[in-house]
Amino acid sequence: MLNKILLLILLLALSACSHQPLEPSYRKVLPAVRQTQLTTLNHWEIEGSFSLRQPPQSVVANYEWLQQGDHYDLHIHSALNLVSIKIIGEPNEVHLWRSARHVVEAQNPEELMQAQLGWQLPLSNLQYWIRGLPAPGLYKARYDAYGHLLTLKQAGWTIHYSKYLPHGHYDLPTMLKLTDDQWAAKISIKRWELE
């Protein structure tokens, strides 16, 4: 009888262990080395969802983002197509499409989004932040033991990184929380595809 009880306890313990999520295996890298690696990542495609809140306004949408060097193509859409826009840009030239016939042009995406949508994402810097990399310019940062950004303060925004996953030679974020003095945003990255 005692053997059966011990066997049952052992089986329960093994069962509990088998359901524990495995932590990704990260390489310990100095933050400066990790940043240098991430700057070489210039061509990628991601998709996910985001929420943006400035009371009383709130936006929840999905996105697909293709980055090829300085050129980006971002499609933002929500349920029932309440929001459906496409932003195509490169330095000093951005186009926003609400439909095939309604195209607006500007020099930067933030002003264009604010003027056309009443809200904005900091796209000029987000193309760096989304990789776990500070944008050019002044910043304050805190890193974990593996050289990943945990908190970044830059251009009036505070960015918190909560999770990274390995992709080839890179560890890339899957969740960011951004706040400034007006907005709070949460960006989830469900898929990274690297070229």
Q: Coil, helix or strand for 173?
A: strand
Question: Percentage of the chain with pLDDT > 90?
Answer: 63
**Burial (0-12, 13-18, 19+ Cβ within 10 Å), 75:** middle
- Has residue 116 got a pLDDT over 80? yes
Q: Whose CA is closest to 195, among 27, 37, 40, 47?
A: 40
pLDDT in tens, 18-51: 444 455 678 888 999 999 999 999 999 999 999 9
DSSP per residue, 47-81: EEEEEEEETTEEEEEEEEEEEETTEEEEEEE-GGG
Q: Whose CA is closest to 186, among 172, 173, 169?
A: 173
Query: What's the CA gap between 141 and 164, in Å, rounded?
Result: 16
pLDDT in tens, 58-95: 889 999 999 999 999 999 998 766 678 999 999 889 99
Residue 136 binned pLDDT confidence (cut-offs 50, 70, 90): very high
Which structural domains are found in the chain, ordered by start?
27-194 (2.50.20.10)
Query: Residue 139: what pLDDT?
Result: 97
Q: Which residues pair with 151 in a beta bridge?
A: 142, 160
Segment 97-102 mean pLDDT: 80
More confident residue, 82 or 151: 151
Give the residue carrying structure tokens 């796209």: 123
Segment 125-144 mean pLDDT: 96
Segment 155-159 mean pLDDT: 97
